[in-house]
Amino acid sequence: MSSSPAKNRPLNPRRIGVIAMHTFTQLVRMKVFYFLGIFAVVLLCSNLLNIQDMGRPDLKGADVLRSIRSVSLGTMTLFSVVLGIVATALLLPKDVEDRTLYTILAKPVPRLDYLIGKLGGVLMLIFVSLVVMDLLMTGVLAIRSSMLLSDQMGGSEFASLSEAQREALRQDVQLQGPTWGLHGATLAIFLRSAVIASTALLLSTFSTSTLFTTVTAVLVYFIGNFQAEAREVFLAGEGTSRLERIGAMLLATIFPDFKLYNVVDSVVQGIALPPAALATLMGLTAFYVVLHLFVSWLVFAGKEF
């Protein structure tokens, strides 16, 4: 009798883990992993057909590797954001349609644990997908870097260079090949998708339509990428009252500023990603995810099913 209340306490790791694994399995059965197949096709075609060279006949050397990085990271960003929005938007309506939600809520499962477990399952799926994509990208870059070095060292131009110029050429190619900074960029992409997934979860607690949640989440993502410029223009304008400034800052706090996650662009150019920047992004992501989960719980706790 005394252990029953403890079992019903929210934030039970075992219970959350079970819901997260069930959600992960549910999404896998919905064949959302087809995204990986598309990514593999894009990556292979960009190399086999030299898509990165189209319209850019002057592209050669390390620029080819830089282009592969840009295409790969851009595709990973697009797929992870779409996956985060669509997979999350499908969850609650799917559980209602299958009556799984009624079965779960009929048991002593706190609604907060249910929401955390659902979001956890989506994040597991995105993380696994990004790891596979990262391995594919790393493998392709390693092969192309090796081929590029081999071609350059066998060329007549390479033989005419001084030893310092040869070493600079090697370092330039290695800098654009597989590096730890590339994995850091993949982590930044995951953090961005975690924020947009938690945003979609929050929106889905308000709406009963998957389409509405998806469209609204896409709009929030679009606005979030230009929020910094809008905030700067609005707050820098004359005649802005203190109340309006507080309102603008409050909106900026609630709605994520996705431009902060654009560290990927620097990595494409071969600039090292500082660990402090990644730590800042992780802290920012934790803030938004916890905030969105808390508001989602407040809304979801009062809903009747």
Strands (E), the chain: none
Specify the 3-state DSSP secondary structure of 190. helix
225-265 pLDDT, tens digit per residue, is 887 777 777 666 666 677 777 777 777 777 788 888 888 88
What pLDDT sits at residue 187? 94
For 28, 65, 91, 242, the CA distances from 36, given in Å and listed in that order, are 12, 21, 20, 49
Q: Confidence class of residue 35 from pLDDT cuts 50, 70 and 90?
A: low
Q: Is the pLDDT of residue 123 over 60?
A: yes
For 174, 195, 254, 269, the CA distances from 287, given in Å and listed in that order, are 36, 9, 10, 29
- Which amino acid makes up residue 87? A
Please state the φ and ψ torsions of residue 241, each to the nearest 5 degrees.
Answer: -75, 165
Mean of pLDDT over the chain: 82
- Please tell me the distance from the alpha carbon of residue 229 to that of residue 241, in angstroms, as a whole number: 19
Averaged over 95-124, what is the pLDDT? 86
What pLDDT sits at residue 44? 65
- DSSP string of 83-95, one letter each residue: HHHHHHHHHHHHH
For 61, 154, 168, 170, 208, the CA distances from 162, given in Å and listed in that order, are 18, 15, 10, 12, 68
Closest CA to 234 of 224, 244, 219, 221: 244
How many CB atoms within 10 Å of residue 126?
A: 26
Q: Confidence class of residue 1 from pLDDT cuts 50, 70 and 90?
A: very low
- Please tell me the distance from the alpha carbon of residue 137 to that of residue 69, in angstroms, as a whole number: 8
What pLDDT sits at residue 46? 67
Q: Is the pLDDT of residue 29 over 70?
A: yes
Q: Is the pLDDT of residue 47 over 70?
A: no
Q: Confidence class of residue 190 from pLDDT cuts 50, 70 and 90?
A: very high
Which class for 80: exposed (0-12), middle (13-18), buried (19 or more C-beta within 10 A)? buried
What pLDDT sits at residue 50? 62
Among 24-38, 63-77, 196-210, the range with the most confident prediction by mean pLDDT is 196-210
Averaged over 28-55, what is the pLDDT? 66
Averaged over 77-96, what is the pLDDT? 86
- Please tell me the distance from the alpha carbon of residue 257 to that of residue 270, in angstroms, as a whole number: 24
Q: Is the pLDDT of residue 89 over 70?
A: yes
Please state the φ and ψ torsions of residue 131, each to the nearest 5 degrees.
Answer: -60, -45
State the DSSP code for 55: T
Averaged over 65-75, what is the pLDDT? 84
% pLDDT > 90, the chain: 23
Those residues with Cβ within 8 angstroms of residue 145's Cβ, 6 or more apart along the chain or in another chain: 65, 173, 174, 176, 177, 178
Domain ranges in the chain? 13-49+61-302
Q: Is the pLDDT of residue 26 over 60?
A: yes
Phi-psi group of 61: left, alpha or beta (phi > 0 → left; psi -120 to 50 → alpha; rest → beta): left
Helix 13-29 crosses helix 111-154 at what angle (to 10 degrees)? 60
Q: Is the pLDDT of residue 4 over 60?
A: no
Minimum mean pLDDT range among 176-180, 249-253, 299-303: 249-253
Averaged over 145-167, what is the pLDDT? 76
